[in-house]
Amino acid sequence: MKFRHPISLVKTCIIASVALLPVGGLAQTGTDLFQGSGFTGLRHVDINQITTTDYLCDSSYFYLIDDTVSNDWVLNERAIYAYDNRGRESIRDIAVLKEEGWVPKEQIRSIYNSDFLNTRREYSWDNRASQWVPHTRHSYDYNYIGLINEIQTHGFKDPEWIAESKTNYTYNTEYLVEIESQYVWDIELNKWSPDSRNLFEYNNEHDVSKEVYQVWVDSIGEWVNETSEVYIFDDANNIISTIIRVWDELQSEWVNNSVIFIEYNEEGQPQRSAVEAIDLDNNAVPELSNLAKYDNEGNVDHLVTSHWDDNSGTWGMYQKQVNFWSEFLYGNLDGNTNEISCVFSNPYSIGLPWYCRSLKPDVVYTLRVYDLYGRTFYSDQFLGSSTFRVTQHLEPGYYIFEITGGLDKHFEKVYVKR
């Protein structure tokens, strides 16, 4: 099954096989970028679940335009990824840059059962308690042939998880998603109540050709049309445009609302996409665009998002995402891989250098320092080819130094002295 469907930017590394702009809404800055819903059918495919096995994303950095006059990029947030030994994302840490340095913001933890994603939990950082606090849990269920059957979402209300919503999937005879149904938990009735659904149609190549979004209206007991999307493909079977329409209840017909255009580079990778609204006179009005650049291996190096400025008649950049990738070495799945050994003084004095053997020279590694209760006291990044050091004051005592990057992970118990 092919997922050639535009997706939302959800603090993930962007990959070339998907379109660059969302259908249901424009990319936003701030907390809207963090959704962490993972795989939920055609609309929200988590990039790290469909990335190639050649490269994995170490981290993504998000910049904003601080001054529309100078167009200076200001680093705002970052996402750092950790993987299991099969190259599947296990932890995603999101931090925001403040005056005092990187401050934890959100974390996603993924748990797998055999070949399948079983649970994904989202956490927020509690500054007072200096720990991660759970707030959302997604549980995944599959049918007998391994296709996603249901996703349930619970919210954490200390001390228990409370049901909030669920998504069910119905497949056609070709095992393509035919209906994606959303339900919400009705506390008073103690049951699942229908909320909305997406109906999918496919072309001869099994690509989505049309999608209709409907909402459930209790008062009439029926599904009512809201929006629809029609996908246009070129001769190479790449999606080149999406026509978004809204339902006119009075005229009982679809009315064009906006169009998404997608352009590809010579390698067939999505290079640019643009959203144009359609006004009452059927004129196209530019709104939003994304421009992607790729590294030599075909991974997205950075993605720039721009808004259309009516006053100047030009695109105004406002957000940039920069990605760092590591090669996924199949040898990491072998039990004979080299052990990582680090050279440092123990007891350790703040500021002295560390050097670790067997780190990959071009990989960006993350150093985290915990106490024995799991509280994080320090975090930084370094290249595997270089030494690194802790530059922040730590009270004397025992700490766990954790080094992660790509599929590598290493721990040291260290005594920090004055």
Residues 311-340 have pLDDT tens digits of 888 888 889 999 988 876 543 333 334 567
Beginning with the edge strand found earlier in the chain, give each strand of the sheet holding 348-349 in spatial order: 348-349, 408-417, 397-405, 364-371, 376-383
SS3 call for 396: coil
pLDDT tens digits, one per residue of 202-259: 988 888 899 999 999 999 999 999 999 999 998 888 889 999 999 999 999 999 999 9
Q: Which residues pair with 327 in a beta bridge?
A: 55
Q: Worst-scoring range by mean pLDDT, 18-22, 69-73, 119-123, 253-257?
A: 18-22
Q: Would you say 399 and 390 are in contact if contact means Cβ atoms under 8 Å apart?
A: no
98: its two tokens: 């403040």
Q: Which residue has the tokens 């339902």?
A: 247
- Distance CA(89)–CA(49), nearest Å, equals 7
DSSP secondary-structure letter at 50? H
What are residue 333's phi and psi, to 5 degrees?
A: -85, -5
Tens-place pLDDT, residues 41-80: 233 333 333 333 467 888 999 999 876 566 788 999 999 9
- Full set of structural domains in the chain with CATH: 30-328 (2.40.160), 332-417 (2.60.40.1930)
Number of helices followed by number of strands (H, E) in the chain: 1, 26
